[in-house]
Amino acid sequence: MSNEPKEIIYLDYNATTPIDERVLAEMMPFLTTQFANANSAHQFGLGAHEAVKAARIQVANLISAEAHEILRRPLANDPFTQSDIVISFKK
């Protein structure tokens, strides 16, 4: 009888999480060819800004919120390609 586990279950989601294939498909242009700082005033930044604005509207619609309630906070370790979404709820 073998002591090897039949199935390995990854539990360290605090370190990293898998990306849903649908999210990856939507993000690929911004990870490969359309990357830019959304806060920059140049042509590339303006395109990134519009993409962030559209994503903010999509998230707001998904959770029945207003777009201005969805905040984008860049991550310090990779500010040009990743961001996490912070949702503020009014009390």
pLDDT digits (tens, 9 = 90+) for 3-30: 776 788 777 777 778 888 998 998 899 8
pLDDT digits (tens, 9 = 90+) for 76-88: 555 444 445 545 5
The confidence score (pLDDT) of residue 12 equals 78
Report in angstroms the alpha-carbon separations of 44 from 1, 13, 34, 82: 60, 33, 7, 16
Alpha carbon distance 38, 79 (integer Å): 10
Instruction: Output 46 or 75, whichever has higher pLDDT.
Output: 46
* pTM check: above 0.85: no
Q: How many CA atoms does the CB half-sphere of 84 hold within 13 Å?
A: 8
Residue 31 has pLDDT above 80, yes or no: yes
